[in-house]
Amino acid sequence: MFSTASNPKVAIAAMAAMKPQLATMDELFSTSPRETLEMGEGLFWEGDRAQHIFEITEGVLRIFKIIADGRRVITGFLYAGDMVGLSLKNVYLYSAEAVTPVKVRRLTRKAFQDAIENSPELRPQLFSLMCDEMAAAQDQMVLLSRKSAEERLCSFLMMLGQRQSGQTQMPKTIQLAMSRQDMADYLGLTIETVSRTVTKLIQRGIITPNGRHAFDLTKPGKLLALCGDGDSYEDVGDPAVKTRQAVWPH
């Protein structure tokens, strides 16, 4: 199946790749028109036929599932530059709604797959994206599995801060695009517990409310310490100690 220029399929692919010379994911979507979503509007629903991949150009999107009794679980928030809809299944595995007004561009799954398959530049980028997504999912599992309400809140604020600062140091102010209910459904808490915990953090002077949907980081160091993921590596030492079990002081 793999061949050289004598295979017309490869030759065509090569030519296709030469024309726009796609080097970034963003360029892939550059020919698509921008579409607008109002606040609260849905982009697609769990179970819909998955025909497109989307790139977010502006705004914040929430990804969620609904289970029995109407319980909602938000599995992620997506910001400008992120992509949604990646999957091999024929239906979307989750729903997507606009948290704020949102602008997206879309590509058919086929166009996307062809572009990836024909671009040795794009493939590692896609792989990298998926790995990052997987790492984020695992961190979220840790949060939901073993962290207290306070640790969840602090972790969430730290994540938002890092995302807004773009990998540099923490910003002074953290913007919350989403409602308390969205936060609760993302953190596996109720809205009341979110409220209580936020109040406690404010009373302890760790954050200061700045309008209804933003916080100033008064003590960013404290916030980091309260995330609960310190010292992960502390006792992971000599790999030569083969039969060591994880220490579990229960």
Binding site for DNA (CB under 7 A): 148-150, 179-181, 188-196, 198-199, 209, 212-213
Q: Which residues contact 117 (CB under 8 A, 6 or more apart)?
A: 13
Nearer CB in complex with DNA: 109/222: 222
* CB neighbourhood size of 81 (10 A): 11
Nearer CB in complex with its own copies: 18/211: 18
Q: Which helix (H) or strand (E) holds 196?
A: helix 191-203
141 binds, among DNA, its own copies, none (CB under 5 to 8 A by kind): its own copies
Q: Supply the minimum distance, in Å, between the C-beta of residue 218 and DNA.
A: 16
244 binds, among its own copies, DNA, none (CB under 5 to 8 A by kind): its own copies
Q: Supply the minimum distance, in Å, between the C-beta of residue 109 and its own copies.
A: 12
Site for its own copies in 155-214 (CB under 8 A): 181, 185, 188, 190-191
Site for its own copies in 215-234 (CB under 8 A): 228-233
Phi, psi at residue 31, to the nearest 5°? Answer: -85, -10
Among residues 52, 105, 106, 147, the one that binds its own copies under rule CB under 8 A: 147
Q: What angle do CA 188, 190, 194 make, to 5 degrees?
A: 95
Q: Which stretch binds its own copies (CB under 8 A): 27-35, 104-112, 117-125, 203-211?
A: 117-125
Q: Supply the minimum distance, in Å, between the C-beta of residue 216 and its own copies.
A: 26
Q: Supply the minimum distance, in Å, between the C-beta of residue 11 and DNA.
A: 54
Judged by phi (left if over 0) then psi (alpha if -120 to 50, else beta), residue 104 lies in beta
Residue that is written with structure tokens 């998926």 in the block: 130
Q: What angle do CA 131, 230, 151 make, to 5 degrees?
A: 85
* CB neighbourhood size of 126 (10 A): 17
Phi, psi at residue 109, to the nearest 5°? Answer: -60, -40
Nearer CB in complex with its own copies: 19/212: 19
Nearer CB in complex with DNA: 196/219: 196
Site for its own copies in 5-44 (CB under 8 A): 5-6, 10-11, 13-14, 17-18, 38, 40-42, 44
- As given in the structure block, the two tokens for residue 95 are 């729903």
Cα separation, 207 vs 197, whole angstroms: 11
Nearer CB in complex with DNA: 25/198: 198
First to last CA, the chain: 55
Cα separation, 7 vs 13, whole angstroms: 10
Q: Supply the minimum distance, in Å, between the C-beta of residue 208 and its own copies.
A: 25
Cα separation, 75 vs 71, whole angstroms: 13
Nearer CB in complex with DNA: 24/181: 181
Count the residues of the shown chain that bind its own copies, applying the rule CB under 8 A.
Answer: 87
